[in-house]
Amino acid sequence: MKNIYFLWLLSFSWATGQHQPSIIPQPQHLKVRNSFFTLCKNTEIETNEKDLFEISYLQNVIFQQTGLTLPTLKKSKASSKIILNLRNIDATSTKLKNQYEIKINENQIEIKANSPEGIFYAIQSLIQIIPNEKKQTIKIPCLELQDEPKYKWRGMHLDCARHFFPKEFIKKYIDYLAMYKFNVFHWHLTDDQGWRIEIKKYPKLTSIGAWRNGSMIGHYSEQKFDNIRYGGYYTQEEIKEIVAYASARHITIVPEIEMPGHAVAALAAYPEYSCTGGPFEVGKTWGVLDDVFCPKEETFTFLENILSEVISLFPSEYLHIGGDECPKTRWKTCSHCQNRMKSENLKDEHELQSYFIQRIEKFVNSKGRKIIGWDEILEGGLAPNAAVMSWRGTEGGIAAAKQKHFVVMTPGSHCYFDHYQGNPKNEPIAFGGYTPVEKVYNFNPTPKNLTSEEANYILGAQANLWTEYIETPSHVEYMIFPRMFALSEVLWGTSNPEKYADFQNRMIHHFDLLESKGINYSKAVFDITSNVKAAKNANGILFELNSVKNNNFIRYTTDRTVPTINSTPYIQPIQISENTIVKAAYFENGKQKSATLQQAFQINKATGKNIELQVQPSENYSHGGAMTLVDGMVSKNKTLGKDWLGFAGKDLMATIDLGKIDSFNKVTISVLESQGSWIYFPQNIEIFVSADGKEFKSVSKIELDDIKKTDGKVTLNLEKQEAQFVKIKATNFGDIPEGMPGAGSKAWLFVDEIGVE
Ligand code: ACM
Ligand code: ZN
């Protein structure tokens, strides 16, 4: 009996897919059979292409993973072999080049592709199919796999200006891209805080521009600095080596040389190309600085000379010329700039920026290359052949595609891997935001509202890793893994939000692979995530907990004690109708796997009630939606995590339905100020009440000066009210004043918990 039971268990685990290889990105077609190929020391590689880089690459990765050294032969008589079949057809289209097939039966593994690129992708899949174990004989499931990517641009970006990463790590980063079938490395080489590429004609760019006399410590909002000299740069020899390394791995490096903004490191070296003449020092502070390139003739000559050297180093079709966050402050008062605007008939500084980019585009086009820039290059008119990288949401990308320009999607909401990926309380300091792996997995680079013709202009997407808060290679790894897994599947075109659980199982399997290679990764996925819903009986809220695997392994307390394996098991959402602190953690095999989640609730008459926003928050800061304002969770810290709703240049207009006529004499609301991040307190906050939801009357108003005195925890005391509906209007601060970071742009308004008592 026992044996039959055991067999049944085996076949059951088979049926549930435990023997399915965990391939990321999931291939387009994969059929696994119930038999095995055996990889062993007698296995041989059969190929006509002995000199192909891919062959030695395959031998190498197999050796690293299994310890087996496999010989290569033109014709193998071995009973166990890997056949590499590079078809001799002229694969000119990207689609044909990228296709590959793997067939594994009991005696052989056969890989077929039309190009070395296809062979390379096949090897990446094969190495994930081969179990990660050092043994003399390794069983590999028999299968059939046909595969090709959906998107052409499968990118990862790395900011090497804010922090510098040595050549050896850049190669590792390229390896990571290769493992997950990315094909573009966007290398951010210049910014206010450092110039990182040797330019022979202008040696001061690196002798001066690559070094700063201090950096920010802690978060930007703290405005603290050290005075340690920091810097580094890549020599042209190193760049050639890295470009060749990437190219062998079918990865194109797109270098970014920022202009006209984010240029202070260059201007510190050559102040004559600024509006004021300087002097400048290489930026020590993060954020956006006001000094930018001045569009005079000498500046164009300077930039063209730089770009000529860049073009000779990088064979990529596209050069990234930045174009983002260029304050117009200096241009407004510069005689060169104003004269240029007159002589070129430009109506404002946005058109001057457009003129700048178009001049650069003409030059780059004349060298047979194309430019790509951040979506600000749409402002004032898009350069005729430019591609657009849409980062401030997807709107810029949509506008560009409608104008028949190519687009790479990198919206902050889904593709900024410098944002938090778990609860900020458990995470290293990050820029802000909240972009967990599941959110990345749900990303669709092709907006639904494009026609199929317009959709053809979406080249793909990429994740950006800005490194203000990331100093070490290990921290870079932590921020990209596992979110890069999710993006790879999105870009390959096989992500399916309904099958997130399947992706999650494969992801956890890949953690073992990363660990075996000594690669760091975030364990935030083991964190308990939570969700607040209104309780059905309008009595407070329901606090729903979720863990990556089995929710029944969550234990929680509501008595302020630390949860242990013996605490209450989580079975269903916890109803909360009075002030409480919930603490919860995920346990496996008696051990705590997650950080302890700790959440305080403050319950009042508005908590869990129906709330409507008349103005929607910005996509990047809308986590949890309107309910965020009445979920009983009052944000304490000033990190821009998921507790806040953010409105870019817009007011808050919210109406809460208390469900019945009720009495109250106080309304509270949290607002945030962080001027360095362009976030300002509102001009005023006004409260209106209504019995029927139609006719509202104003009952209280507080102005900016008094809001400032509250440090953001605003209380409006009212005469005693009897009403069912409470409307809160917070008027956005408006334009950011001169002399402040972001001057002239619209301020952000950040709001949280509204209380009615
Ligand atoms: C950007 O994040 N400033 C492109
Ligand atoms: Zn100027």
Q: Is pLDDT at 636 greater than 80 in this prediction? A: no
Kindly tell me the burial class for residue 20, based on how many C-beta atoms sit within 10 Å of its own C-beta (0-12, 13-18, 19 or more).
middle
Q: Is pLDDT at 529 greater than 90 in this prediction? A: no
Last residue of some domain: 466, 490, 517? 517
Tell whether 622 and 549 lie within a shared domain.
no
Tell whether 575 and 720 lie within a shared domain.
no
The average pLDDT across 21-38 equals 97
CB 432, CB 420: distance < 8 Å: yes
Give the distance (Å) from ligand 2 centre to CA of residue 332. Answer: 8
Ligand 1 atom nearest to CA at 416: 2
Give the distance (Å) from ligand 2 centre to CA of residue 215. Answer: 28
351 is catalytic: no
Q: Which residues on neighbouring strands pair with residue 191, listed in sequence order? A: 194
Tell whether 317 and 236 lie within a shared domain.
yes
Report the C-alpha gap between 454 and 444 in whole angstroms.
Answer: 15
Tell whether 498 and 621 lie within a shared domain.
no
Tell whether 597 and 614 lie within a shared domain.
no
Query: Is 135 domain-assigned?
Result: yes
Tell whether 213 and 327 lie within a shared domain.
yes
Q: What is the DSSP letter of 434?
A: B
Ligand 1 atom nearest to CA at 262: 3
Contacts of 132 (CB under 8 A, 6+ apart): 65, 512, 513, 516
Report the C-alpha gap between 397 and 389 in whole angstroms.
Answer: 7
pLDDT at 138: 95
Q: Residue 596 corresponds to which tokens in the numbers above?
A: 């302890």
Half-sphere exposure of 366 (CA within 13 A, CB side): 9
- Three-state DSSP at 674 gives strand
Q: Are strands 370-374 and 597-601 parallel, antiparallel or unpaired?
A: unpaired
pLDDT tens, 83-96? Answer: 999 986 666 788 88
Please name the residue whose Cα sits nearest to atom 2 of ligand 1: 391
pLDDT tens, 475-484? Answer: 999 999 999 9
- Three-state DSSP at 308 gives helix
Report the C-alpha gap between 425 and 655 in whole angstroms.
Answer: 31
Q: Is pLDDT at 8 greater than 70 in this prediction? A: no
Counted domains in the chain: 4
Give me the catalytic one of 117, 191, 256, 375. 191
- Rounded (5°) CA angle 157-162-164: 80
Report the C-alpha gap between 117 and 137 in whole angstroms.
Answer: 29
Report the C-alpha gap between 86 and 111 in whole angstroms.
Answer: 8
Q: Is pLDDT at 15 greater than 60 in this prediction? A: no
- Total length of the chain: 757
pLDDT tens, 565-596? Answer: 999 999 999 999 999 999 999 987 777 888 89
Give me the catalytic one of 325, 361, 477, 489. 325
DSSP 363-428: HHHHTT-EEEEEGGGGTT---TT-EEEE-SSSHHHHHHHHTT--EEE--HHHHBTTSBSS-GGGS-
262 is catalytic: yes
pLDDT band at 12 (very low <50, low <70, confident <90, very high): very low
Report the C-alpha gap between 599 and 591 in whole angstroms.
Answer: 21
The answer to whether the CB of 391 is under 6 A from ligand 1 is yes
Query: Is 487 domain-assigned?
Result: yes
Q: Is pLDDT at 11 greater than 60 in this prediction? A: no
pLDDT at 94: 86
Query: Is 11 domain-assigned?
Result: no
For the chain, state the CA radius of gyration.
29
Query: Is 14 domain-assigned?
Result: no
pLDDT band at 16 (very low <50, low <70, confident <90, very high): very low
In one-letter notation, the amino acid at residue 11 is S
Q: Residue 407 corresponds to which tokens in the numbers above?
A: 């687009």
The CATH number for 141's domain is: 3.30.379.10
Contacts of 487 (CB under 8 A, 6+ apart): 156, 415, 440, 443, 461, 462, 463
Ligand 1 atom nearest to CA at 322: 4
Report the C-alpha gap between 258 and 370 in whole angstroms.
Answer: 15
- Three-state DSSP at 507 gives helix
Q: Which of 363, 332, 368 is nearest to 349 (CA)?
A: 332
Report the C-alpha gap between 650 and 612 in whole angstroms.
Answer: 16
Domain containing 656 equals 610-756
Q: Which of 260, 55, 38 is nearest to 130 (CA)?
A: 38
Give the distance (Å) from ligand 2 centre to CA of residue 355. Answer: 13
Q: What is the DSSP letter of 310?
A: H
Tell whether 591 and 684 lie within a shared domain.
no
Kindly provide the residue ranges of all beta strands, DSSP E only, lying in 87-229, ordered along the sequence: 100-104, 108-113, 137-147, 153-159, 184-188, 190-191, 194-195, 211-212, 216-217, 224-225
Give the distance (Å) from ligand 1 centre to CA of residue 46. Answer: 48
The answer to whether the CB of 325 is under 6 A from ligand 1 is yes
Query: Is 23 domain-assigned?
Result: no
Q: Residue 713 corresponds to which tokens in the numbers above?
A: 């925890």
What is the residue whose two structure tokens read 């609860």?
A: 423
Ligand 1 atom nearest to CA at 389: 4
pLDDT band at 624 (very low <50, low <70, confident <90, very high): confident
Q: Is pLDDT at 640 greater than 70 in this prediction? A: no
Q: Which of 363, 427, 482 is nearest to 641 (CA)?
A: 427
The answer to whether the CB of 286 is under 6 A from ligand 1 is no
CB 491, CB 461: distance < 8 Å: yes
pLDDT tens, 121-172? Answer: 999 999 999 998 888 999 999 999 999 999 999 999 999 999 999 999 999 9
pLDDT tens, 605-615? Answer: 999 999 999 99
Query: Is 20 domain-assigned?
Result: no
Report the C-alpha gap between 473 and 415 in whole angstroms.
Answer: 20
Report the C-alpha gap between 152 and 460 in whole angstroms.
Answer: 6
Tell whether 157 and 109 lie within a shared domain.
no
The answer to whether the CB of 374 is under 6 A from ligand 1 is yes
Report the C-alpha gap between 490 and 481 in whole angstroms.
Answer: 15
Query: Is 7 domain-assigned?
Result: no
Contacts of 327 (CB under 8 A, 6+ apart): 261, 288, 289, 290, 292, 742, 743, 744
What is the residue whose two structure tokens read 């000379």?
A: 305
Last residue of some domain: 570, 601, 632? 601
Torsion of CA 246, 252, 253, 255, to 10 degrees: 160
Tell whether 558 and 622 lie within a shared domain.
no
CB 458, CB 409: distance < 8 Å: yes
Q: Is pLDDT at 270 greater than 50 in this prediction? A: yes
Last residue of some domain: 601, 625, 643? 601
Tell whether 569 and 619 lie within a shared domain.
no
Please name the residue whose Cα sits nearest to atom 3 of ligand 1: 324
Q: Are strands 580-588 and 597-601 parallel, antiparallel or unpaired?
A: antiparallel
Contacts of 66 (CB under 8 A, 6+ apart): 39, 130, 133, 134, 135, 138
Contacts of 693 (CB under 8 A, 6+ apart): 655, 657, 724, 725
pLDDT at 620: 79
The CATH number for 337's domain is: 3.20.20.80
The answer to whether the CB of 324 is under 6 A from ligand 1 is yes
Tell whether 322 and 452 lie within a shared domain.
yes
Give me the catalytic one of 188, 262, 405, 419. 262
Query: Is 89 domain-assigned?
Result: yes
Tell whether 332 and 214 lie within a shared domain.
yes
3-state SS of 210-231?
CEECCCEECCHHHCEECCCCEE
pLDDT at 540: 87
Give the distance (Å) from ligand 2 centre to CA of residue 343. Answer: 14
